[in-house]
Structures are given as C-alpha cells and as structure tokens.
Amino acid sequence: MAAIKKAAEIRRMTDAEIVAAINDAKEELFNLRFQWESGQLEDYTRIRQLKKHIARLLTVQRERELAEELVQEEADAE
C-alpha cells in the first residue's frame, strides 16, 4: 500500500520518483477496483484517497513541466 504524501513532500521528490509513485498508485487503484467488483474490498475510502493522491502527483508533475517550458521560453527570448 502506497503512503499518501502531502504536496510539499511530493515536491521534494525527483521526477523519476514521481513517475514511479504515479505508476504504483495507479496499479494499486486498479487492484482496489478489482476487489470492489468482486466484493472483497473492506475499506472503500481508500479508493477516494488514492485518486486524490494520484491527482496531487500529476499536479506536481505538470507544474514542473510548465516551469521547464517557461525557462525554455525565457532562454529563447534572450
């Protein structure tokens, strides 16, 4: 089970760690959905928590992409 991290903790992660965390979280979400459909899931709130965690990870990843584009545009302007 992946640990849910706050945005500040995610921002301290490297790009590779964020990608790995996204993949792990998506895999866990898939497994939870499978358990839900088969009636074996006991903690339904975990799905909601995991979806929010994935959104946080993707948000930080996108922030970095946009910052990189901005730096590139500024370098091209000079």
Report pLDDT for 62. 97
Question: Considering the domain boundaries, does residue 1 fall inside one?
Answer: no
Distance of alpha carbon 2 from alpha carbon 21, whole angstroms = 8
Q: Which domain holds residue 36?
A: 7-77
| Total domains in the fold of the chain | 1
Question: Considering the domain boundaries, does residue 60 fall inside one?
Answer: yes
pLDDT in tens, 17-50: 999 999 999 999 999 999 999 999 999 999 999 9
- CATH number of the domain encompassing residue 59: 1.10.287.310
Supply 34's token pair: 């499978």
Question: Considering the domain boundaries, does residue 2 fall inside one?
Answer: no
Question: Considering the domain boundaries, does residue 16 fall inside one?
Answer: yes
Distance of alpha carbon 76 from alpha carbon 45, whole angstroms = 47
Question: Considering the domain boundaries, does residue 71 fall inside one?
Answer: yes
Question: Considering the domain boundaries, does residue 20 fall inside one?
Answer: yes
Asked if 11 contacts 60 with a C-beta cutoff of 8 angstroms, the reply is yes
